[in-house]
Amino acid sequence: MNPERKKYRIQFLLEWFFARPLGQIAFSSFLIAVVSGIFLAIPFDIKNPYDSISLILLTNPGAVFFRNLHYWSAQVFFISTILHIIDHFRRKTEKKLTNGVWLRVTISIFFMFFVMISGFILKGDADAEQALRILKSLFEQIPFIGSTISYSFLGRERDYQLIYVHHIAIATIILWIVIVEHSKILWAEIKVFVYTLIFVAIISFMFVPSLHDGKSPIVKGPWYFVGLQEVLHWISQTQLVLIFIFLLFLFD
């Protein structure tokens, strides 16, 4: 193919892709995640998360569907939010936000990551425990206030209560406030919401996110966390890793 024609085709595809209402998709999937999370909270037992999820998987097909819906909508929310951010940088429309809103939107990225990883940790399986340990050690390496931050976000050893409260309430509410503030809408566009719901529902009907069986020697965090685990594999000093993450965040 003619190289110029190939370049034109790629550009066309990118334009088409980014012309999708990524922000609406993100908001829609966020709302689906919130509502499905409410239904999931009913059979979920925070005192024995692993056991309660394994029981859900075996005995409660309805709860399994809502768990799947919750998981996949969260993934769509995360990915579409990242793409939405990239899109705004690409079109240079981030300058339209006021400084205050810009600051809150930036901070909300951390809460978005936290709500995702806290959901992962609340599985209570081997993957989750490892992710929790890594996160805890990273927080504790923050100079002066590390232990306080770690305790404030992650709570006590072997006690998921605080993480649960942050996941279902605090982080979620903060995210919703920031979304509403910067998008200036209370609800996603109905057409986008329906399409997103159908898409996520189909995937949820088919695919169940895994629960570590306690046997497999492979223990990994969620896909968006393994990059960090890879960095930790190469750089053993966690302060350097924190600086690396900070720089990654800053330059992006």
Residues at the interface with other proteins (CB under 8 A): 50-51, 54-55, 57-59, 61, 64-65, 68, 86, 206-211, 213-218, 220, 223-224, 226-231, 233, 248, 252
Question: Which one, 126 or 175, has the nearer CB to other proteins?
Answer: 126
Q: How many CB atoms are located within 10 Å of the residue 57 CB?
A: 14
Q: How many CB atoms are located within 10 Å of the residue 52 CB?
A: 17
Find the shortest distance in angstroms from Cβ 86 to other proteins.
Answer: 8
Question: Which one, 59 or 98, has the nearer CB to other proteins?
Answer: 59
Find the shortest distance in angstroms from Cβ 90 to other proteins.
Answer: 12
Question: Which one, 50 or 193, has the nearer CB to other proteins?
Answer: 50
Find the shortest distance in angstroms from Cβ 229 to other proteins.
Answer: 5
Instruction: List Cβ neighbours of 138 (8 Å cut-off, separation of 6 or more).
Output: 238, 241, 242
| Whether the Cβ atoms of residue 29 and residue 200 lie closer than 8 Å to each other | yes
Question: Which one, 100 or 214, has the nearer CB to other proteins?
Answer: 214
| Whether the Cβ atoms of residue 196 and residue 81 lie closer than 8 Å to each other | no
Find the shortest distance in angstroms from Cβ 191 to other proteins.
Answer: 28
| Whether the Cβ atoms of residue 97 and residue 205 lie closer than 8 Å to each other | no
Residue with token string 């750089």: 235
